[in-house]
Amino acid sequence: MAKKDNKVAFVWEGTNRRGQSIKGELMGQNAAMVKAQLRKQGVTPKKVKKVAQPLFGLGGKSGKKIKSQDITFFTRQMATMIKAGVPLVQSFDIVADGVDNPTMKELVYEIRDTVSAGNDFASALKQHPEYFDELTCNLVESGEQAGALESMLDKVAVYKEKTEALRAKIKKALMYPAITLIIAFIVTVLLLVKVVPTFQDMFNNFGAELPGPTQFVVMLSEVAQAYYLHAFALLIIAGVGFTQALKRSKAFSNGFERFTLKVPVFGDLIRKAAVARYARVLSTTFAAGVPLVEALDSVAGAVGNVVYKDAVLRIRDEVSQGQQMHFAMRSTGVFPNMVVQMTSIGEESGALDAMLDKAATYFEEEVDNAVESMTAMLEPMVMAFLGVVIGGLIVAMYLPIFMMGDVV
C-alpha cells in the first residue's frame, strides 16, 4: 500500500489575478511547495504560515474530524444551491454558514478560495483526496465540461446519500451485538475480580468441599485477579495491531476482506452490499455520460471488497476487448443471476443506467432486510449468551448457600 505524503496545513494570504486580497488554508509538505502551488492557481502569495498542530494528531484547528456524513451534507447543499441559481462562490459561503463542524467549515472556505483564484470546482476538490474520492471529482469535472454542473452535483449527492445509508445499515447490524458483548465481557471481569473474592472468603469458613461449578468459578476468579490487567493490555495491543495491519498491509487487508465473505450470515450481507454499490455507482456514472470502461474504473474503487474489485477490473478488461458486459459479469461468478439478467436487458434496450438503478434499489432493500433479519436473530442469541455466562456465575456463587443446610 502506497504511503501517504507527509502534508500539513498552511494558512496563506495573497492576491489573485484581479489584484484582490484573498486568504485561505492549503495542505503541503513545506511553505515553498505551498507557494509554488498557489502561483499555479494564479495567486501571488504574501504570507504562508504553518498551522499549529493540535494534540493527539486530530485534524483541523478545532480538533474535530471531518466525517463522511459532513461530505455528504456538503454535496447535497451545493447541489441545492446551484440548482437554485446561486453563483458557485456565493454557494460556498452559504453552505459554510450552515456547517456545524468547524473543521468542515475550514475545508469549505479553502475550496471556495481555490475556486475564487480561478480554478474549476473539480480541481479544488482534487486537492483534498482524503475527503473527495476520484469518482466524485470525475463526475463534477464532467458536469463542468458539459455545462450541467447542477444535475451532476445532484447525481453525486444521491450517490453519496445512498452509499451513506448503506453504510449506516451495516453498522446498525454490527453495533448492537458488539456493544452487548463488550459490556458482557466487562461485567464478567468485574464479577470475577471484585465480587467472587468476597464470596470466596465466606466459603472458606464453610468447612466443606464446594460444588464443582463453584470451584470452577473460584479458579477463574483467581486467574482473572492475577492476569486481568495483562488480558486488557493484550486486547488493546491486538486491537491496535489488527487496525494497523488493515491500514498498512494490503495483503492482510485483502485476505480479511475475502474472509468476511465466508462468514455465515454476515458474508451474505457483505455480498449484497457490494452488489448494491456496484449497481449504484455504475448507474450514476453511466447516466452522467462517462464511457463504460472509465465508469468501471470508478466502480472498482467503490465496491468496498477486494473480491468484487478484482471482478470489476476483469469485467473492464473484457468489455474493453469488445465483450458484452453481462457476459463478462457472468464469467466472474460473483454476481447474482438477477443482476446479470437485468444488465443484459439494459444493454439490449439501451437503458443500462435505468436497469442498474433498479438493481441497486433492489439490493439496497435486500441489505435493509438482511440487517433486520440479522438483528432479530442475534438479539435472542446475545441474550442467551448473557444468561448463560453472567447467570451461570451468579448461580455458581449462590449454590453453596443453597446447600448450606446439608453442610450444617
**Confidence at residue 330, expressed as pLDDT on a 0 to 100 scale:** 92
Alpha-carbon torsion (247, 250, 256, 257), positive or negative: positive
Residue 135 has a CB neighbour count (10 Å cut-off) of 22
The 10s digit of each residue's pLDDT in 19-75 is: 778 877 777 767 777 887 788 777 888 888 776 554 344 444 445 788 888 888 898
Q: Phi and psi (nearest 5°) for 373?
A: -65, -40
- Contacts for 283 with CB less than 8 Å, ≥ 6 apart: 353, 354, 356, 357, 359, 360
Model-level pTM?
Answer: 0.66
Given the DSSP bridges, would you call strands 44-50 and 21-28 parallel, antiparallel or unpaired? unpaired
Are 288 and 143 in contact by the 8 Å Cβ rule? The answer is: yes
Burial of residue 276 (number of CB atoms within 10 Å: 0-12, 13-18, 19+) = buried
In this prediction, residue 405 carries a pLDDT of: 53
Q: Rounded distance, CA 24 to CA 58, Å? A: 20
Q: Which residues of the chain have pLDDT under 50?
A: 1-5, 54-62, 407-408
Rounded-to-integer distance, Cα 150 and Cα 156, Å: 10
pLDDT at 127: 86
pLDDT at 59: 44
Sort residue 55 into left (φ over 0), alpha (ψ -120 to 50) or beta: beta
Q: Burial, 357: exposed, middle or buried (Cβ in 10 Å; 0-12, 13-18, 19+)?
A: buried
How far apart are the C-alpha atoms of 382 and 257, rounded to whole Å?
25
Three-state DSSP class for residue 127: coil
